[in-house]
């Protein structure tokens, strides 16, 4: 039998799956957008990707994470160059992918102990 147990769990919210257009995190269903930090998960009244501004995620970026994992909903779409440039000007990278892929990336990267945050638009 093969298992993939971590020696030391990293803690923080664990995405367990998807529910409708939302996400199941630590047994709680978030029906829409989702914010994740190494400490907590919370609802996010996500704007459409074309309307996304740095002000919409500013509170999420306060702790100066390594990068923002941006899930763009059911399909991968790029945010505006203005948004990406504003986040990168804060010294924070932006990794963009569809929200399902971003949820899976969150699990892997947090398992590695990476100090990241995520903003996931609904599916």
Does a structural domain hold residue 60? yes
Check: CB of residue 119 under 8 Å from CB of residue 65: no
Is residue 2, in this structure, part of any structural domain at all?
Answer: no
Residue 1 falls inside a structural domain: no
Model pLDDT, residue 23 = 96
Q: Is residue 84 part of a domain?
A: yes
As for how many domains the chain has, the answer is 1
Classify residue 88 as left (phi > 0), alpha (psi -120 to 50) or beta: alpha
Residue 100 lies in a domain: yes
- For position 25, which CATH number holds? 3.40.1230.10
Residue at 87 is within a domain = yes
Q: Is residue 52 part of a domain?
A: yes
Written as six digits, the tokens of 118 are 């995520």
Please give the C-alpha separations between residue 92 and each of 39, 49, 65, 74, 114, in angstroms, as whole numbers.
18, 19, 7, 24, 13
pLDDT of residue 57: 97
Torsion of CA 88, 121, 98, 101, to 10 degrees: 100
- Structural domain harbouring 87: 15-120
- Give the pTM: 0.90
Is 53 a member of any domain?
yes
Pair type for strands 117-120 and 67-71: parallel
The list of the chain residues with pLDDT below 50 reads 1-9
CA atoms within 13 A on the CB side of 98: 7
């Amino acid at each position: 039998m093969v298992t993939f147990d971590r020696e030391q769990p990293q803690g923080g919210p664990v995405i367990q799956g998807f529910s409708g257009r939302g996400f199941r995190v630590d047994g709680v269903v978030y029906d829409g957008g989702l914010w994740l930090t190494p400490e907590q998960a919370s609802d996010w009244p996500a704007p459409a990707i074309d309307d996304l501004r740095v002000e919409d995620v500013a509170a999420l970026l306060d702790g100066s994470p390594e990068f923002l994992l941006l899930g763009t909903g059911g399909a991968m779409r790029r945010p505006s160059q203005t948004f990406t440039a504003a986040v990168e000007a804060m010294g924070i990278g932006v990794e963009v992918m569809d929200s399902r892929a971003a949820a899976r990336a969150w699990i892997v990267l947090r398992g590695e102990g990476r100090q990241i945050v995520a903003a996931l638009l609904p599916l």
